[in-house]
Structure 1
Amino acid sequence: MTDQNSGWHPVTKGLHWLFVILLLCVWGAVELHEFYDREDPMRGWLVRLHFSLGITVLLLLVLRLYWRAR
C-alpha cells in the first residue's frame, strides 16, 4: 500500500532549498563583514547585503506560509 501524499510538492522543495541557500548567504555576509575595517566600503556593502537578503527571506517566508495554508 503506497501513500500518494508521501512526497513534498516541487514548490515546497524549491522554497526549502532557496531558504537554505539564502540563510547561508545571510550568515556568511554577517560573518565576513568582521574582517574589514569600519571605514572600508566592503564592510558597508556586506552589511547592506545582509539586510537585503534578510528582507528577501522574510518575504519568502510569507510566500511559504501562504503556500502551506493553501
Structure 2
Amino acid sequence: MKTQGKHYHPLQIGVHWLTLLLLIAVYALIELRDIYPKGSAGHELMKTWHFMLGMAVLAVVLVRLPLRLALQAPPSRRRRRPGRSSWRTPCTGRSTAF
C-alpha cells in the first residue's frame, strides 16, 4: 500500500497529530505535578498519568514506524540539482568577508 499523489495518507496525518497531542499532555502533566504537594494523591496521580501517556506515545511510535514504511511519503517539492548534495552549499573559492 503506497501513497499516491502529492500528500501524506490521512492515516499518517492523524497519527502525527495524535503523537503531538500525547506529547503535549505528557509534558504538561510532568510540569504541572508541582501544583500538588509532594507525596499527595494528586501529585502521584499526575505522575501515574504521565507514565501511562508516555507508554501511549511509545505505542503510537511503534505503530507509526511500520505505517510510514508501508505508506511512504509523497515526493519532495524541492528541486535538487543532479549530482549535488542538498545539505551543502557549493564553495566558490572566493571570500565574501570584507
**Is TM-score (shorter-chain normalized) higher than 0.5?**
yes
**Percent of aligned pairs sharing the same letter:** 33
Provide Cα deviations, 1:27-68, integer angstroms capped at 9, x if missing partner.
000011012111310000000000000000001101000101
Once the two structures are overlaid, the 10-residue window that deviates more, 16-25 or 31-40, is: 31-40
Q: How far apart in 2 are the matches of 1:5 and 1:40?
A: 53
Q: Could you say which residue in structure 2 is the equivalent of 1:22?
A: 22
Verify: 1:54 aligned to 2:54, yes or no.
yes
> How many positions carry a matched residue from both structures?
67
Higher helix share: 1
Q: Which runs of 5+ in 2 are unaligned?
A: 71-98
Over aligned residue pairs, what C-alpha RMSD do you find?
A: 1.0
Which sections of structure 1, spanning at least 5 residues, go unmatched? Answer: none
Shift of 1:5: 2.4
Aligned structure 1 segments of 4 or more residues deviating by more than 4 angstroms: none
Which structure ranks higher in relative contact order (CA pairs < 8 Å, sequence separation ≥ 6)? 2
Q: Distance in 2 between matches of 1:69 and 1:8?
A: 12
TM-score (norm 1): 0.89
Larger Rg: 2
